Structure 1
Amino acid sequence: MSQRSRSRTVPVCALLLAPLAAAAAGCGGPSSDPLAAKPYDASGQISFGGVEEGRKVDPDKPLEVTAKGDGSRITDVTATDAAGRYVRGELRPDGSRWRSTAPLAAGAHYTVRVSTENRHGRQGRRTIGFDTAPTDGKLRVSFGPDSGTYGVGQPITAELSEAVRDASARAVVERALKVQSRPAVQGSWHWVNNRTLHYRPREYWPTHATIDVRSALEGVKVGGGLYGGSSKPLKLRTGERIEAVTDAVTHQMTVRREGKEIRRIPVTTGKPGFDTRNGVKVVLAREAFVRMRGTSIGIPAGSADSYDLPVYWATRVTWSGEYVHAAPWSVGSQGYANVSHGCTGMSTANAKWFFDTIHVGDIVKVVGTGGETMTPFGNGFGDWNLTWTEWQEGSALAQTRPDGSGPADAARLRPEV
């Protein structure tokens, strides 16, 4: 899943332009590496948990892709539905297994693309399609991420088993989605589209907080003959507040723990035309090894700018392939110039320290580039780039009349996607 990056004389990191390209995030220079050869069929090297030919997949169960242990490893997985929406997932550092970390939709078609490497370093590919079983007509909610401990920037997600378009029905749903944190904070749901909501506090979560999320929809009439069904609750915890702020003008990253600076790192960011995105991003995954290729962003193989290199200690901040990672080829520019194709590059030692220090849900902010601001949704978690007022405008309850009788101005709700 990665489910769905880097001056001309040095290899550089590439920002992918579309979520489906996330599997081949890029960093490097001209290469005659044999891995650039046409991939072989990796069918015999991997298995798909819960996917059987001719049978519909249970959408309530995670999707798993496993290497069969013959010396081969999985290097990347992308899973998308028919609309191109990316299924988030996590790949083990040793490449032995990928597992989805976001729920599948009911009654949907998915395509899964898997990249592998055999024991000799040659790359393989395997693509399959499958359908998920339809819903029973009840509205269920799948919360994310998985239970566990996260950084203070981690939003909560709610994926609905059925689309909810009507403004009054949205208000019913939102009232039933309960979030309780200790210590208590002010927060709100925001409708991303007619099946997805995100929840975040007004400010970042408190450190060492406990967050309980549940649905009270069971048996509740939502509207149009749709009733709520049962849903599994979620419990999260937050760790220390860790923030990394990269200044593309000074070419420095400052890492703070609980507001205190713990390290300043020379970096390089995207050069003009490949500017790194400004704004707040949330760490999505930590990937000890990523194969990055220039072809993933449209650079022809064999051209002056082409590359195909192994990249280590990669911390992912967008699904389209923006990372903070080791870039030993650009150490001479780090702290002085921006020479990448969009990622934040640093020395191998600094990248390893960053990899070991940062966690999923921690905050990575970039300032001072010529690039656009990170989008709120669709390419990771850019939720914090909306002001609190903008965030609340995406809530159905924010549009409800004071007496609670219904939406005061349904037109202000976000349009369906």
Structure 2
Amino acid sequence: MNQTPRSRTVLRCSLLLVSLGAVAIACGEAGPDPMTTKPFDAAKQVTFNTPRGGAKVDPDKPLEVTVKRDEGRIMDVSVVDGTGHHLAGELSADGVRWRSTGALSAGAKYTARVSTEDAEGSPGTRTLTFATSAAKRELSVEFGPEEGEYGVGQPIIAELSAPVEGKAARAAVERGLKVDLKPGAEGAWHWLNDEVLHYRPKEFWPAGAKVTVSNNLQGVKIADKLYGGAPGKPLKMTIGDRMEAITDASSHWMTVLRNGEVINTIPITTGKPGFSTRNGIKVVLGQEYFVRMRGSSVGIGGSEAYNLPVYYATRVTWSGEYVHAAPWSLSDHGSRNVSHGCTGMSTSNAAWFYETFKEGDIVEVINSIGEDMDPFGNGYGDWNLDWTEWRDGSALVADTRPDGSSAADSARLRPRV
């Protein structure tokens, strides 16, 4: 039989293997592949910096895993808490030390699994369970408003039990405050000061949306020796129709829209010169069927003093700006601005407005010669910041200005008047 050079070579190799069979068998007895060997117990090889006797670990200190240089090296470390969160860490280049870079949670249970290799390359493993001590200082969070149905302009408020300073600490807070919105929409937190932050979407809340706000900070390290406390009850809100009242102080008319469609136009009067109504977007804060309005309560006296019984009053600022019935100026509605800053209308129109609008609905004033609505401190003027300015107040997405400041540095929550 004729053989090609390749076939002759194969034949010679086969014969060689047969003749050296004993040698081949002997080579196979050198030992099993280390990759298929059952890992040995690395309890004597691996050392943790945790206290002896099961004492709880200080969460303010990093976790360390080490092996002696002549006893092999660490191949992998996995540290997971009871909720499935992994603790971040770094392995040294020589493989003899692993150190956590993420913060341990306070009052948590962890399982650490370490894979090693000895000096001969055989695999080892060790598992350790440990618990961290409870926090001595805890940060609690109170959400607002109360559970219920609100308009598309209602911001979410988070009030903290202790001041939180610094971008890293604030970012930790924001990551733990979860806002679940269905249908979804882009949104962000904005810090008013060290203890108060607001959340709003880029645009108004979608009509009919369901919002759930929860606190997932329990045990999470916020700052030095400050950890998140108990989560408390989640806040649940339902968003109603998109109700907007566009108050034109120049034409003296209000246009009311529901979900973008005009449903009413109302003749009005707004603030006269010297008391001009603030321009901008305001959010309904509450409603009072009857309220006695006194000029003295807002610093108005002398010839401008007043003391009036007012019905169907819908509040839009803490300082006393309302949409309300003003039957004493009926002849001026639709033609002149004669109020001290409120938006006045007939009693029947005010009753309709009172029954149609609710907390969180939008009242926007345009074409007034008054000042602009303050974004914070006199109601909810959050929507008067554009999206870039709003995001600038978040520690997670803020863009720092050239001087190193941000919008959050200058925004302060002023007391209600």
- Whether TM exceeds 0.5 here: the answer is yes
Residue 245 (structure 1) shift: 0.4
The structure-2 alpha-carbon separation of the partners of 1:251 and 1:400, relative to structure 1 and needing over 3 Å to count, comes to: closer
Partner of 2:286: 285
Q: Does 1:328 pair with 2:341? A: no
> Aligned partners of 1:297 and 1:218: how far apart in 2?
43
Q: How far off is 1:295 after superposition?
A: 1.4
- Secondary structure of 2:237's partner? strand
Q: Is the 8 A contact 1:292 1:310 kept in 2?
A: yes
Task: Tell me which protein shows more helix as a share of its residues.
Answer: 2
- Which residue in the other structure is 2:368 paired with? 369
Q: Are 1:251 and 2:252 counterparts? A: yes
| 1:166 shift after superposition | 1.7
Which residue number corresponds to residue 9 of structure 1? none
AA of the residue aligned to 2:395: A
Residues 249 and 400 of structure 1: CA distance in aligned 2, closer, same or farther (over 3 Å): closer
Cα distance change, pair 292–364 in 1 and its aligned pair in 2 (3 A): same
Secondary structure of the 2:211 match is strand
Give unpaired runs (5+ residues) of structure 1.
1-134, 402-407
Specify the alignment match of 1:412 in structure 2.
406
Shift of residue 197, structure 1, vs aligned partner:
0.4
1:386 aligns with 2:380: no
The number of residue pairs the alignment matches comes to: 276
1:354 aligns with 2:353: yes
CA distance in 1, matches of 2:376, 2:300: 27
Secondary structure of the residue that 2:349 maps to in structure 1? Answer: helix
The aligned counterpart of 1:238 is 239
Q: Give 2:176's aligned residue.
A: 176
Judge conservation of contact 1:188–1:200 (CA < 8 Å) in 2.
Answer: yes
Aligned residues: CA RMSD = 2.0
SS at match of 1:263: strand
Higher relative contact order (CA 8 A, sep 6+): 1
Provide the rounded CA distance (Å) in 2 between the counterparts of 1:223 and 1:361.
34
Q: Residue type of the partner of 2:292?
A: R
1:166: which partner in 2?
166
Contact 2:153/2:283 (<8 A) preserved = yes
Residue in structure 2 matched with residue 109 of structure 1 by the alignment:
none
1:276 corresponding residue in structure 2: 277
Letter in 2 for 1:245: I
- Whole-angstrom CA distance in 1 between matches of 2:279 and 2:340: 14
Task: List per-residue Cα deviations over 1:284-306 (Å, max 9, x = no partner).
Answer: 00110111112123333xx4332
Q: What is the alpha-carbon distance in structure 1 between the residues aligned to residue 288 and residue 140 of structure 2?
A: 32
SS of 1:311's partner is: strand
Cα distance in 2 for residues equivalent to 1:382 and 1:184: 23
Residue 309 (structure 2) aligns with: 310
What does residue 222 of structure 1 align with? 222
Shift of 1:413: 6.0
Question: TM (normalized to structure 1)?
Answer: 0.64
Structure 1: which amino acid aligns with 2:406? R
**1:215 maps to amino acid:** N
CA 349–222 in structure 1, closer or farther in 2 if over 3 Å, else same: same
Letter in 2 for 1:412: S
How far is 1:212 from its partner?
0.7
Q: Which residue of 2 aligns with 1:298?
A: 299
Q: Which runs of 5+ in 2 are unaligned?
A: 1-134, 413-417
In the other structure, the counterpart of 1:202 is 202
CA deviations over 1:3-38 (Å, ceiling 9, x no partner): xxxxxxxxxxxxxxxxxxxxxxxxxxxxxxxxxxxx
User: For 1:25-64, what per-residue CA distance to the aligned partner results, in whole angstroms no more than 9, with x for missing partners?
Assistant: xxxxxxxxxxxxxxxxxxxxxxxxxxxxxxxxxxxxxxxx
Residue matched to 2:29: none
* Secondary structure at 1:397 match in 2: coil
Cα distance change, pair 140–409 in 1 and its aligned pair in 2 (3 A): farther
Cα shift at 1:165 = 1.1
Instruction: Tell me the distance in 2 between the aligned counterparts of 1:277 and 1:313.
Output: 21
The one-letter code sitting in structure 2 at the alignment partner of 1:241 is R
Q: TM-score, normalised by structure 2?
A: 0.64
Question: 1:246–1:137: structure 2 CA closer, same or farther, 3 Å change rule?
Answer: same
Over residues 166-214 of structure 1, what are the superposed CA-to-partner deviations in whole Å (9 max), with x where a residue is unaligned? 2210111111111010000000000000000000000000111100101
1:266 counterpart = 2:260: no
* SS of the residue 1:281 aligns to: strand
The residue type paired with residue 145 of structure 1 is P
For the 8 Å contact 1:159–1:197, the answer to whether it is kept is: yes
In 2: Cα distance, 1:299 partner to 1:183 partner: 46
